[in-house]
Structure 1
Amino acid sequence: MKILIMCEGPNELKVINLLLDNDKLKFTRDDLLDMRPFHARQLTSPQLKPALDAYHGEIEIYRIGDKMSDTLKIPKELSPTVKLQAKFCTKPELEMLFIIAENKVQDFEKVKAKQKPKDFCKKNVVFNRKKYDNSTAFYEDYFSTRINLLISAITEYHRTHGKHKKDEGYLFDLLK
């Protein structure tokens, strides 16, 4: 059995890779299909095809992203091998991790009716004299040497952000 991790965007992919590289998840790269997570929304993604074609065992699919409304279409040839589908949601946006890490939750609460987390971060999050710019490089720079800050932000997000839909988990649920 292998786990197929499908990340909605490149920043979700970066966060998962940082957690994997620092051995903070309940699974390792050895447990993953092709030993890596993928930036893909559907199983028909060209990135996934070689890995899916090469592996003939059972798979569990973990989808990670902030918009989980689109239904995962499973091609009929894969259907017998898919043993589990799970969603791990980062609602409202992955940028909430920066807001929590920067201790700016109260400031964000004051403007959240008018401002998305991404826009708030662009105005209020700075690291090493660089403003947040929604780039994968910023996630790398900000969290790569402060993995415990990432873990703390994920944990705090889980603690304070109520319930997702019943079929959606949190990034927290993937942590050791």
Structure 2
Amino acid sequence: MQKAKIMDEKAIGRAITRISHEIIEKNKGIENVVLIGIKTRGVPVANRIADKIQSIEGKKVDTGEMDITFYRDDLTKKQMDAVVNSTHIDFDITNKTVVLVDDVLYTGRTARSALNALVDLGRPKAIQLAVLVDRGHRELPIRADYVGKNVPTSRNEIISVKLTECDKEDEVTIEE
């Protein structure tokens, strides 16, 4: 059951714009910066950030898609066999600043899995994390470098992110 709508299409757009500017500022431009979206909804967020950065800087940022299924610590063998997506990264990440992008940061376990998967692909110069929503409740010492919105939640609440690319609409809600 929906408890509250915390971001609409305009708020999501503003968050993407702010994150894009922060990535450019922190990295003093976009030279050797690449974006990798964590499937599923991290991919469209990464693509939107890449589009915004290109409109600001006039240069394209390489983007990729990462499936972390086999790196998760909470799936059984049967679940992994049932859910196999793929990783699409057609560029070398060695000596690049990799910005991992996801929709929601919660316990930190997804980000940790993505870090493990990245190390198998190469040795980046640096790894940064960008998320649309940080809801707290970390179980691992992980924090986002770029956050669209901080939303304090209880553990029994769910943050639901809907994006046009996946769900035909843009909104972020808290569900009970």
TM class, shorter-chain normalised? 0.3 to 0.5
TM-score using structure 2 length? 0.40
- Greater C-alpha radius of gyration: 1
Greater strand share, 1 or 2?
A: 2
What's the TM-score once normalised by structure 1's chain length?
Answer: 0.40
